Amino acid sequence: MTPRTRRLVLLSGWLLLQRPAGWTDSKEPPLDRWTQVKRFSSSGACESYRDKAVAGTQDAAGAGSMRCVEEAPAAKAPAPAGGW
């Protein structure tokens, strides 16, 4: 790769999030309040991990306490005025 040739690699993945502890409101909490448990490269891997994690819990909410969401890709930075 020459100094003038650069590629922007946008990585996106899946995040396993857990509902905030002690959340008692009847509405779902906003996702920015959830705790990130783990990051995955695919939705299937995230769902599989979540299913195994909640299978051993006695929580009636179970699967509802964890959720897989797609990670937002990083915003593409504008090219410098002089070019790459």
22, part of any domain: no
54, part of any domain: yes
45, part of any domain: yes
Give 73-80 contacts, CB < 8 A, sequence gap 24+: 73/10, 73/11, 73/12, 74/10, 74/11, 76/8, 76/10, 77/8
pLDDT attached to residue 22: 86
Q: What is the pTM of this model?
A: 0.65
Query: Which residues span the domain enclosing 54?
Result: 31-71
48, part of any domain: yes
Q: Please give the backbone phi and psi of residue 45, each rounded to the nearest 5 degrees, phi first.
A: -65, -40
77, part of any domain: no
**pLDDT tens digits along 7-51:** 544 567 999 999 998 888 888 899 889 999 999 999 999 999 998
Residue 62, sorted as left (phi over 0), alpha (psi -120 to 50) or beta, turns out to be left
Number of domains the chain is built from: 1
5, part of any domain: no
55, part of any domain: yes
pLDDT attached to residue 81: 60
3, part of any domain: no
